[in-house]
Amino acid sequence: MNDGVSMPRADARRNYERLIQAASAVFEVQGASAALESIAKQAGVGIGTLYRHFPTRKALLEAIYADKVSALVAGVPSLLRKMSPDKAILAWLEMIVDYSAQYAGFSGLIASAAKDNNSPITAVGSRLLAEAQKTNLVRSDVTIVDLLRLLNGIIADITPEDRERTDALAAIIVAGLKK
């Protein structure tokens, strides 16, 4: 017997999954600034359905790249155990560069994180930067927002072919952080 309760939940879940798949595909081709209307259309839903699931572009990006954000966050303690904090920052930035080269919309998430002090990326990056600053390896006048904004200038519109040069530019940023 269908009581009408499970059907909408299943339908909502299907819409959510279709939106994630469509957004991933559209962002891969058009980047994070792609029109949300085109994502809704590709998913076969209305724009209102997209906004019910994802009230902001940032929320949609976070849902698509949740596993990448988790890896960035979870990886910091390991980086700090394996290397000095200044080298850990470079390794962490290289992870961001790598994800941005592989996933066209990821740089949009980094741009959003640079504007959001409550972002998990900003929070873990702040911790990593603070560790380096405690050891006097990194300038104390730099914030994680500064660092993410600089990095975003490098990773915007990055392609896999740009990867080597982008790593070199990230290393320049880290070199500029040193005292």
- Nearest Cα to Cα of residue 40 among 65, 60, 58: 60
Within this chain, do residues 119 and 172 fall inside the same structural domain, yes or no? yes
Within this chain, do residues 78 and 155 fall inside the same structural domain, yes or no? yes
Within this chain, do residues 49 and 107 fall inside the same structural domain, yes or no? no
pLDDT tens digits along 13-29: 999 999 999 999 998 88
pLDDT tens digits along 129-145: 999 999 888 899 999 99
DSSP label at residue 160: G
* Domain-ending residue, one of 23, 49, 64: 64
Q: What is the pLDDT of residue 29?
A: 85
Three-state DSSP at 156 gives coil
Report CA-CA distances (Å) from 178 to 60, 92, 133, 142, 172: 35, 16, 9, 10, 10
- Are 106 and 65 contacting, i.e. CB atoms less than 8 angstroms apart? yes
The sign one gets for the Cα dihedral 106, 112, 116, 118 is negative
Within this chain, do residues 123 and 56 fall inside the same structural domain, yes or no? no
* Domain-ending residue, one of 64, 82, 111: 64
Q: What domain range includes position 113? A: 66-177
pLDDT tens digits along 72-103: 999 999 999 999 998 898 899 989 988 988 88
Burial class (CB in 10 A: 0-12, 13-18, 19+), 90: buried
Q: What is the CATH number of the domain that holds 143?
A: 1.10.357.10
The span from the CA of 106 to the CA of 35, in Å, is 16
Within this chain, do residues 127 and 140 fall inside the same structural domain, yes or no? yes
Q: What is the CATH number of the domain that holds 27?
A: 1.10.10.60
How would residue 8 be classed by pLDDT, with cut points 50, 70 and 90? low
Within this chain, do residues 87 and 152 fall inside the same structural domain, yes or no? yes
The span from the CA of 142 to the CA of 154, in Å, is 18
1 found inside a domain: no
Tokens of 75: 């990886």
- Nearest Cα to Cα of residue 27 among 64, 68, 70, 69: 64
* Domain-ending residue, one of 64, 79, 103: 64
